[in-house]
Amino acid sequence: MIKTNYHTHIYLCKHATGTPDEYFQKAVDCGYQHMAISDHMPLSEELKLRITSRRMNFDEYKNEYLPLLERSKNKFKGICTSSALEAEYFEEMLDYYPSFLEDVDFLILGQHYVKNEYGQFIDVYATLDEYLLNNYCECLEKGCASGYFKIIAHPDIYLYRKKGFNEKCQEVANRIIQAAYLNNVALEINANGIRKNRDFINDMGESVHIYPRIEFWRLVADFQKEHELKVVVNDDSHSVDDFCDESTKKAYQFASSLGIKLTEFPL
C-alpha cells in the first residue's frame, strides 16, 4: 500500500474538523511518506454572490490557513509535508491561481460547480444533463491544460446521479483520461465516496460505489495498459478519524482489483 495522501480538509472549510497538526501526526503514526493539507480555495467576492459554498474566506486563508500549514511543515520532519488547495477551474478565478501557487505547493482540481446555458452555477451532485456534462468535461480539460493543477479530485463525480453508463458518460470519461495524460495530471481514486456508504446496483446489475465508479476506472485500467497515466488514492478526509480508515483500505483494494497502477511518491 502506497503511503501518501494529498487530499485533506480541516476545520476552516466549515464542513470538516481537525487541524493540520492532528492530521500530520496521524500520518506519521500510520507510516505515511507524503501528506498534504488541501482545503477548499476561497472564492472571489463576485463568485460568493453566485455560489453557495461552505469554505474559508480570503482573510482566513491568509491569516489562519497559511500560518497553520507553515508551522506544521516546520514541526513534522519525519514525513514529507505539503500545503495545497482544492480548487475549481473557474474562468472568473484565472487571475488568482498564480498567486495561490506562490503560497502553496500545488493545487488539486476539484470541480464542484458547472455553469448551465444561462450562466448559473449548478452543483455537480445534481443531475447533470448533456450540456452540464460537456461543461464539466471542458472545465477539467481547461484546468489540466492550464498547468495550474497536479491532481484531478474525484474525476468521476459527474456520475453521482447516474445509475447507467451510456455513450455520453463514456465519452466524458475518455476525454478526462486524455486530458490528464496529455498534461501529466494525476487522476484520484477518492476514498470518501466509499466512506459515504451509498453503494447501489448499476444498470449492469453490479453493486458499485457511488464513487469511485467502476465503469470509469475500468477505462483508466485499460488506458494504463498502453500509457503511463498517473493515478493516486486519496482520503478526502473531513475528520482525523477518516484518515487511513477502512474506506481508505477499500480504495486501495478497488485499484488493485482492476489492475490499476498507482503512482509512487513523489508525484
Q: Quick one: average pLDDT of 241-262?
A: 97
Phi-psi region of 123 (alpha: psi -120 to 50; beta: other; left: phi over 0): beta
Half-sphere exposure of 171 (CA within 13 A, CB side): 9
Position 78 confidence tier, pLDDT thresholds 50, 70, 90: confident
Per domain, the residue ranges of the chain are: 4-258
d(CA 76, CA 210): 35
* 3-class DSSP state of 199: coil
* 3-class DSSP state of 112: coil
Helices within the chain (DSSP H only)? 20-29, 45-48, 58-60, 66-75, 97-103, 130-146, 167-182, 191-195, 214-224, 246-258
Specify the pairing of strand 186-190 against strand 231-234: parallel
Which CATH superfamily groups domain 4-258? Metal-dependent hydrolases (3.20.20.140)
User: Is 159's pLDDT higher than 80?
Assistant: yes
Q: Quick one: average pLDDT of 42-59?
A: 96
Q: What angle do CA 50, 56, 58 make, to 5 degrees?
A: 85
User: Is 1's pLDDT higher than 80?
Assistant: no
Residue-wise pLDDT for 164-195, tens only, equals: 999 999 999 999 999 999 999 999 999 999 99
Position 53 confidence tier, pLDDT thresholds 50, 70, 90: very high
d(CA 140, CA 94): 14
Q: Quick one: average pLDDT of 211-215?
A: 98
- The 3-state DSSP composition of the chain as helix, strand, coil percent (nearest 5) reads 45, 15, 40
Mean pLDDT, all residues of the chain: 96
User: Is 101's pLDDT higher than 90?
Assistant: yes
Q: Quick one: average pLDDT of 227-249?
A: 97
The three cell numbers locating residue 49? 454572490
Specify the pairing of strand 113-115 against strand 186-190: unpaired
In degrees to the nearest 10, what's the CA dihedral of 42, 148, 125, 92? 60
**What pLDDT is recorded for position 4?**
96
The three cell numbers locating residue 147? 498547468
Find out whether 77 and 35 touch, Cβ atoms under 8 Å.
no
The three cell numbers locating residue 119? 450562466
